[in-house]
Amino acid sequence: MNLSNDDVQDILSLLDSLPYSELTLETSRFTLQLRRSAEGGWTQETQGLSQRVLAGPVAPATPPAPPSATPPAPPSGAPPSRGGPAAAAAPVPRAASDAGPDAQDIVAPLLGTFYRAPQPGAPPFVDIGGSVEADTVVAIIETMKLMNPVYAGTTGTVTEICLDDGQFAEQGAVLMRVSARTG
Amino acid sequence: MLRRILIANRGEIAARIVAACHRLGIETVLAASEADLDSRPARLSDRTICLGPPPAAASYLNVAAVVAAAAATGCDAIHPGYGFLAENPALARACAAAGLVFIGPAAAQLELAGDKLAAREQAAAAGLPVLPGGEAATAAQAQSLAADIGWPILIKAAGGGGGRGLRPVHSPAELAAAAGQAAAEAHAAFGDPRIYLERFLPTARHVEVQLLGDGERVIHLSDRDCSIQRRYQKVIEEAPAPLLADGLRTAIHDAAVAFGSRLGYRGLGTVEFLVADGVFYFLEMNARIQVEHPVTEQVCRLDLVAEQIAVAEGRPLSLAQQEVTVTGHAIECRICAEDPQGRPAPGTVTRAVFPAGPGIRVDTWIQAGSAVSPFYDSLLAKLIVTGADRADAVGRLRRELGDCEIAGVTTNLPLLAALAGDHGFAAGGMDTGFLARLTERTPAVAHG
């Protein structure tokens, strides 16, 4: 049983009749700090302390089907926040392309997961040798559940795809290189 | 009677469902990705099972892993929450095949509601007013359709919904390029390139009706106004919708119930409408529990998750239409990890203080130490205030927002405070362009 909003209300109605302006309740499962605010109301700060009870790992009946290969998992228990292990391993912005004066880089507009295809099993938006226009969608970057299309932003031929499908990309990381169309 | 439910979700809705289950005496197993194994919902749940690596495609969106997790932990049902697999007919079917109860509508109902174009046609057939529009399969078709509809128009993705895949177009010259891009984006984001056009009403209100059905009978649980939006994403929601003429309100409720009844709807669902100049139009149906469900719970004094579980158990509705009453006024605001430009701002929460007291409810999943991952959405908490009337609720919202303190990640609290303090907001009845105009006026608070 966990602390509910109704429980907090009940504690507050008790506190309201007492002269105290702060209460800290600590159990093995949670801490609750209630403080009188400047406006005369109350604030709450809670911390769940229970350890989660982990059920055994489950082998899915069929292999998972994310967009192509499953990206490598960061170490268990290390949420991939900015600056965490996953971010440290993620590609960082590279120097401008050295593929020639006509080469253009397509970079990640924001940090997130790089996908080359619109959905699992679908053909990629573009391959090496494919030609692109400025408004061609070449990839998706998924950030916080939002699927953000990546536009080529330039006209030419894709010469290099710098990340694997499903890999994590920092903002500004080079995703693809495009050489300007000649003739 | 369900004994153990697998919750295939994360964040505040996972914590919300755990609380409802515990109140009902139902055990919970949280199915979480590796990124969420130490999250607050995991600590609250009776047990937690790992679904897979952090990317949603490898965990929360993996139907086979979710169903296998339920089977391995002896669950008899799966609650999908919202987002992720909540409206995916494949999960509903996989549950049926595995002998599990899917806490949501039938697969066919999910399919119909998920195809926004098909839903629009069903709504029209059920006698609901729809905006002038239709499918645009070719550029030529788009041009002639747009000429019939009148400008401006909104390009929508048939596989979209929830404010995603929308693109306004203001003149015929822009249409061909915009339609091409919209189709490519729809294909990218939803795996379905079909687009349709509708008349764009930039100054309409967004009003929606909460439905509850048991497969035979459908009732409404009044309405909500969700017009405060940023780039088509809801920011503040309230119940009931303010300043609606009684006749109009009743007509909107009746239209929503007519649509739900036509589908023989089972579960919780929301029918969304646009309201402009005293006229309403069907937008779409969301076949799941919604983020903003607490405002309805507060004014109707119901636990919608409990009602949802009851109808999933095969029980008839626990109440009749005339037993649904609305008392007071509730407002919810979505506290999100985002920068002033509205871009997601991941990080680690170092402190999370919220107001407490009568008329205040906070649904959250964060506490000191919570990692806000770039893999998932940016919602941190929902602050819900309830007052005797709208003015009372607005006053509370202003005060209580001042008692929110979140450190470690950038949040939209300054934007919410500016909104709550705005006298246009206090007047009520804002349209969907309100927030964009406010942020233009006060760029220091937030850029649109």
Indicate if the pLDDT at residue A95 is higher than 60. no
Q: What is the mean pLDDT of residues B36-50?
A: 95
Q: List pLDDT tens digits, range A101-118.
A: 578 899 998 888 899 988
Residue A73 has its nearest CB partner, among B53, B164, B374, at: B53
Cα separation, B94 vs B97, in Å, equals 5
- Which tokens in the block code for residue A6? 């109704």
Q: Which secondary-structure segment (H or E) carries B270?
A: strand B266-276
- The length of chain A is 183
Question: For residues B157 and B182, is the Cβ–Cβ distance under 8 A?
Answer: yes
Q: List pLDDT tens digits, range A7-31.
A: 999 999 999 888 899 999 998 889 9
Mutation target vs A (from B13, B298, B305, B373; most A CBs, 10 A cutoff):
B373
Q: What sign results for the dihedral spanned by CA atoms B390, B220, B377, A45?
A: positive
Orientation angle between helical segments B11-24 and B304-312, nearest 10 degrees: 70
Per-residue pLDDT, A92:
43
Q: Which residues pair with B209 in a beta bridge?
A: B223, B271
Q: List pLDDT tens digits, range B282-301.
A: 999 999 999 999 999 999 99
- The length of chain B is 448
Per-residue pLDDT, A96:
44
Which residues are CB-contacts of A70 (< 8 A; sequence separation ≥ 6)? Answer: A64, A166, B52, B53, B55, B58
Question: For residues B45 and B22, is the Cβ–Cβ distance under 8 A?
Answer: no
Residue A21 C-alpha, separation from nearest chain B C-alpha, in angstroms: 13
Instruction: Identify the active-site residue in B10, B16, B217, B288.
Output: B288
Q: Which residues pair with A150 in a beta bridge?
A: A139
φ, ψ at B124 (rounded to 5°): -60, -40
Question: For residues B48 and B25, is the Cβ–Cβ distance under 8 A?
Answer: no
Which residues are CB-contacts of B302 (< 8 A; sequence separation ≥ 6)? Answer: B221, B296, B319
Residue B53 has its nearest CB partner, among A1, A57, A70, at: A70
H runs (alpha helix) in B150-245:
172-190
Q: Which residue of chain A has the CA closest to B57? A: A66
Indicate if the pLDDT at residue A70 is higher than 60. no
Q: List pLDDT tens digits, range B392-428.
A: 999 999 999 999 999 999 999 999 999 999 999 999 9
Q: Please state which of the ranges A90-94, B135-139, B354-358 shows the lowest mean pLDDT.
A: A90-94
- Which tokens in the block code for residue B372? 């806000």
- Which tokens in the block code for residue A109? 């507009």
Q: What is the mean pLDDT of residues B12-40?
A: 96
What's the gap between Cα A147 and its chain centre? 11
Q: In what side-by-side order are the strands of the sheet with B195-199?
A: B133-135, B195-199, B153-161, B164-169
Cα separation, B293 vs B397, in Å, equals 17
Question: Which A-chain residues 49-68 have CB contacts (< 8 A) with chain B?
Answer: 49-67
**Local structure of A25: helix, strand or coil:** strand
Cα separation, B24 vs B110, in Å, equals 26
Question: For residues B290 and B230, is the Cβ–Cβ distance under 8 A?
Answer: no
Residue B149 C-alpha, separation from nearest chain A C-alpha, in angstroms: 27
Residue B148 C-alpha, separation from nearest chain A C-alpha, in angstroms: 28
Residue B73 has its nearest CB partner, among A55, A142, A166, at: A55
CA nearest A175: which of A167, A123, A88, B57? A167
> For chain B, what is the mean pLDDT?
94
Cα separation, B85 vs B57, in Å, equals 10
Judged by CB atoms closer than 8 Å, whether chains meet at A125 and B188 is answered as yes
**Tokens 């990206």 correspond to what residue?**
A71
Question: For residues B40 and B23, is the Cβ–Cβ distance under 8 A?
Answer: no
Indicate if the pLDDT at residue B438 is higher than 60. yes
**Tokens 């039938």 correspond to what residue?**
B106
Strands (E), B290-378: 329-336, 347-348, 351-356, 360-364, 371-372
Per-residue pLDDT, B139:
87
Residues of B in contact with A79 (CB under 8 A): 35-36, 38, 54, 371, 373
Residues of B in contact with A3 (CB under 8 A): none
Cα separation, A80 vs A74, in Å, equals 7
Q: Which residue of chain A has the CA closest to B70? A: A58
Indicate if the pLDDT at residue B149 is higher than 90. yes
- Classify residue B316 by its DSSP letter: P
Q: List pLDDT tens digits, range B81-100.
A: 999 999 999 999 999 999 99
Q: Please state which of the ranges A16-20, B99-103, B225-229, B441-445 shows the lowest mean pLDDT.
A: B441-445
Confidence at B445, pLDDT banded by 50, 70, 90: low
pTM of the predicted model over 0.90: no
Residues of A in contact with B361 (CB under 8 A): 5
**Tokens 């994403």 correspond to what residue?**
B233
Mutation target vs B (from A3, A24, A52, A140; most B CBs, 10 A cutoff):
A52
Question: For residues B186 and B166, is the Cβ–Cβ distance under 8 A?
Answer: no
Q: What's the CA angle centered on B395, arms B389 and B400, to 5 degrees?
A: 120
Q: What sign results for the dihedral spanned by CA atoms A128, A131, A137, A143?
A: positive
Judged by CB atoms closer than 8 Å, whether chains meet at B65 and A122 is answered as no
Cα separation, B403 vs B382, in Å, equals 14
Indicate if the pLDDT at residue B158 is higher than 90. yes
Query: Alpha carbon of B393 to those of A48, A105, B240, B412: distances in Å?
Result: 29, 51, 12, 20
Residue A52 has its nearest CB partner, among B43, B52, B402, at: B43
Q: Which residue of chain A has the CA closest to B184? A: A137
- Cβ neighbours of A35 (radius 10 Å): 17
Cα separation, B223 vs B240, in Å, equals 5
Residues of B in contact with A164 (CB under 8 A): none
Judged by CB atoms closer than 8 Å, whether chains meet at A47 and B368 is answered as yes
- Which tokens in the block code for residue B210? 């909460």
Cα separation, A45 vs A11, in Å, equals 14
Indicate if the pLDDT at residue A182 is higher than 80. no
> Annotated catalytic, B10?
no
CB-based contact (8 Å) between A34 and chain B? yes
Confidence at A145, pLDDT banded by 50, 70, 90: low
Report whether the peptide linkage leading into residue B240 is cis, meaning its omega lies within 30 degrees of zero.
yes
Per-residue pLDDT, B260:
97
CB-based contact (8 Å) between A28 and chain B? no
Cα separation, B410 vs B344, in Å, equals 9
Cα separation, B18 vs B207, in Å, equals 29
Per-residue pLDDT, A101:
58
Q: Which residue of chain A has the CA closest to B61? A: A66
Indicate if the pLDDT at residue B341 is higher than 90. no
> For chain A, what is the mean pLDDT?
76
Cα separation, B173 vs B326, in Å, equals 48
Q: Please state which of the ranges A57-66, A169-178, B27-36, B370-379 shows the lowest mean pLDDT.
A: A57-66
Question: Which A-chain residues 104-123 have CB contacts (< 8 A) with chain B?
Answer: 110-113, 118-120, 122
φ, ψ at A181 (rounded to 5°): -70, 135
Indicate if the pLDDT at residue A65 is higher than 60. no
Question: Which A-chain residues 87-106 have CB contacts (< 8 A) with chain B?
Answer: none
Indicate if the pLDDT at residue B182 is higher than 60. yes
Q: What is the mean pLDDT of residues A76-102?
A: 43
Q: Which secondary-structure segment (H or E) carries A178?
A: strand A174-180
Residue B19 has its nearest CB partner, among A2, A51, A81, at: A2
Residue B240 C-alpha, separation from nearest chain A C-alpha, in angstroms: 22
Per-residue pLDDT, B226:
97
Per-residue pLDDT, B187:
83
Confidence at B194, pLDDT banded by 50, 70, 90: very high
Judged by CB atoms closer than 8 Å, whether chains meet at B400 and A41 is answered as yes
Confidence at B362, pLDDT banded by 50, 70, 90: very high
Q: What's the ipTM?
A: 0.86
Question: For residues B15 and B364, is the Cβ–Cβ distance under 8 A?
Answer: yes
Q: What percent of chain A has pLDDT over 70?
A: 71
Confidence at B150, pLDDT banded by 50, 70, 90: very high
Indicate if the pLDDT at residue A80 is higher than 80. no
Q: What is the mean pLDDT of residues B1-17?
A: 97
Q: Please state which of the ranges A36-40, B32-36, B41-45, B53-57 shows the lowest mean pLDDT.
A: A36-40
Q: Which residue of chain B has the CA closest to A43? A: B355
Q: List pLDDT tens digits, range B102-114.
A: 999 999 999 999 9
